[in-house]
């Protein structure tokens, strides 16, 4: 009889343990689903605010060029010769085109576009298909000459300060330039949305990540 009671008690403990484990698993799954939902909703809401800012004027889209495998440029780099440079991959070209589609999907069908003279930036800017692209030397990479970064960053800030920002404006440039301007390290294709501050610097509203 004692053995039977022990078996029953053991079985009850096992069933109770299984039930509690199942409830905990279900609760964890529910919590994860809620976090995913609210995180996704928040990201969509944040993006909507940033797109609205770009549509309304007074803001600038600082965009890192699309995917271009590698780091820096080959030793034989020449500014006017794309064959000597690190260029967009097929995936990078497709990414740039998709980013242009996102601009249009969010109500921006044309923009003033300025670009670094590096081929991967010019190509990215053109593939956006949002209007003519104008080269702006202040946006050129100073990856190899970091000592000149402070002066070039000031030139970019001064240039932005002189601009009429009534419509959408996109500046296609490099990671080092964007980091110097915003303290953000963007991935390829990332858009950092900024506005001018009274102190002659840029205020970051947020980032739009590439898809």
CA 145 vs. chain centroid, Å, equals 25
pLDDT reported for residue 40: 36
Helix, strand, coil proportions of the chain in percent (round to 5)? Answer: 50, 15, 30
- How does DSSP classify residue 150? H
Smallest CA-to-CA distance from 173 within 132, 138, 147 is with 138
pLDDT reported for residue 116: 98
- Position of tokens 């044309």? 110
pLDDT reported for residue 211: 77
70: left (phi over 0), alpha (psi -120 to 50) or beta: left
pLDDT reported for residue 159: 96
pLDDT reported for residue 39: 36
CA distances from 150 to 47, 154, 181 (A): 30, 6, 10
pLDDT reported for residue 36: 37
pLDDT reported for residue 41: 35
pTM exceeding 0.85: no
The low-confidence residues of the chain, meaning pLDDT below 70, are 1-45, 146-148
């Amino acid at each position: 009889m004692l053995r039977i009671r022990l078996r029953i008690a053991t079985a009850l403990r096992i069933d109770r343990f299984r039930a509690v484990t199942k409830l905990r698993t279900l609760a964890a799954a529910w919590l994860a689903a809620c976090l995913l939902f609210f995180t996704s909703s928040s990201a969509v809401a944040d993006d909507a605010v940033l797109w609205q800012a770009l549509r309304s004027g007074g803001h600038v889209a600082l965009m890192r060029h699309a995917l271009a495998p590698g780091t820096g440029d080959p030793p034989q780099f020449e500014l006017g010769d794309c064959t000597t440079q690190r260029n967009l991959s097929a995936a990078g070209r497709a990414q740039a085109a998709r980013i242009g589609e996102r601009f249009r999907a969010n109500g921006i069908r044309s923009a003033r576009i300025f670009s670094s003279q590096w081929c991967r930036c010019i190509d990215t800017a053109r593939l956006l298909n949002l209007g003519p692209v104008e080269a702006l030397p202040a946006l050129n990479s100073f990856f190899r000459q970091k000592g000149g970064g402070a002066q070039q960053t000031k030139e970019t800030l001064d240039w932005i300060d002189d601009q009429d920002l009534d419509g959408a404006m996109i500046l296609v440039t490099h990671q080092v330039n964007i980091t110097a301007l915003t303290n953000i390290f963007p991935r390829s294709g990332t858009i950092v949305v900024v506005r001018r501050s009274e102190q002659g610097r840029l205020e970051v509203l947020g980032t739009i990540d590439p898809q």
